[in-house]
């Protein structure tokens, strides 16, 4: 583990405790998410203090940590992002999306303003993740449940118009039928977007921009989770352990990904050519 010089005493203490605990037992997924959240908060506080000190010309007043724990990680893109730094400190890997999703599940499970069934589902999914279940499907299921609960609340509310209640019911029906993804952004905002689309077959520019932004976010989340995935598995184990059907599904996914990448690559090249001509 690397720790940057000049960090707060509290963060140094947190990471030292983590190193000590790791000698006895690896962190569980929820423990890692909780430690990640604390490290991210402390890193953000350190950054804010340094910014204030720099603004007033006081320099870095934080004492340098003692001992040998002053090694700085190699500088790479996004190293300045507190999420990336915190993920590196806790897991040794740059991807923070899984930890963020576990944290979101923890927030939902503890949020007393949400319906009981949503909180119970979140707790059940967290228990499954602790037992080794993948995080992304759990995150999707809980997010969908939260969106549906939000839409159902609107559909039953006497304070809104009949048109809005109908739109909420229509949006919920589309989600249940798998016609609309319902995860990757704030559930209340997604519910509002879904109802707006249900009220109009041709959403306005603002609504369409939000839909496109959500799709881009889902795409980035998905591929962040897969970053350097081939380093996490032993080819010999995979070769001898997969059934023919499982290997076929893997190859189908690879082939579909290849075709998708070729299509996107071509579209990006067309866009670049058009931009050059316009300029």
Residue pLDDT, tens place only, 10-30: 666 666 666 665 555 678 899
Summarised one tens digit per residue, pLDDT across range 113-161 is: 888 999 999 999 999 999 999 998 899 889 888 888 888 888 888 888 8
The pTM of this model reads 0.57
Of 130 and 271, more confident: 130
Distance CA 256, CA 163 (A): 40
What torsion do the CA atoms of 115, 120, 122, 124 make, to the nearest 10 degrees? -170
**The pLDDT value given to residue 242:** 86
In this predicted structure, the answer to whether residue 258 has a pLDDT above a threshold of 60 is yes
**The pLDDT value given to residue 67:** 39
Residue in this structure with the two tokens 């319902």, named with its chain if needed: 182
Least confident of 88-102, 177-191, 193-207: 193-207
Handedness of CA 107, 38, 31, 71 (dihedral sign): positive
Q: What is the DSSP letter of 232?
A: G
Distance CA 69, CA 71 (A): 6
Distance CA 214, CA 220 (A): 10
What angle (nearest 5°) sits at the alpha carbon of residue 179, between those of residues 173 and 181?
100
Q: Among 3, 82, 1, 79, which residue's Cα sits nearest to residue 38?
A: 82
What angle (nearest 5°) sits at the alpha carbon of residue 31, between those of residues 26 and 33?
120
Handedness of CA 168, 170, 173, 175 (dihedral sign): negative
Mean per-residue pLDDT, 31-55: 81
Domain boundaries, the chain: 1-94, 96-225, 248-279
């Amino acid at each position: 583990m690397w720790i940057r010089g000049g960090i707060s005493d509290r963060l140094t203490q947190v990471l030292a405790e983590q190193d000590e605990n790791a000698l006895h037992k690896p962190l569980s997924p929820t423990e890692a998410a909780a430690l990640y959240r604390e490290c991210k908060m402390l890193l953000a506080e350190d950054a804010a203090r340094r910014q204030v000190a720099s603004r007033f010309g006081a320099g870095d007043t934080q004492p340098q940590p003692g001992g040998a724990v002053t090694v700085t990680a190699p500088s790479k893109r996004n190293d300045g992002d507190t999420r990336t730094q915190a993920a590196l400190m806790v897991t040794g890997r740059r991807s923070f999306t899984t930890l963020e999703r576990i944290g979101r599940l923890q927030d939902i499970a503890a949020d007393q303003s949400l319906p009981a069934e949503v909180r119970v589902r979140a707790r059940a999914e967290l228990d499954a993740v602790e037992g080794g279940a993948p995080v992304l499907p759990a995150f999707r299921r809980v997010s969908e449940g939260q969106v549906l609960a939000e839409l159902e609340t609107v559909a039953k509310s006497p304070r809104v118009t009949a048109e809005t209640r109908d739109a909420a019911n229509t949006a919920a029906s589309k989600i249940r039928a798998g016609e609309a993804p319902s995860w990757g952004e704030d559930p209340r905002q997604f519910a509002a977007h879904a109802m707006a689309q249900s009220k109009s077959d041709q959403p306005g520019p603002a609504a369409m921009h939000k839909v496109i932004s959500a799709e881009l976010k889902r795409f980035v989340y998905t591929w962040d989770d897969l970053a350097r995935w081939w380093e996490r598995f032993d080819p010999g184990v995979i070769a001898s352990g997969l059934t023919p059907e499982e290997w076929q599904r893997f190859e189908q996914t690879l082939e579909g990904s290849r075709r998708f990448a070729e299509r996107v690559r071509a579209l990006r090249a067309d866009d670049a050519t058009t931009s050059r001509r316009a300029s």
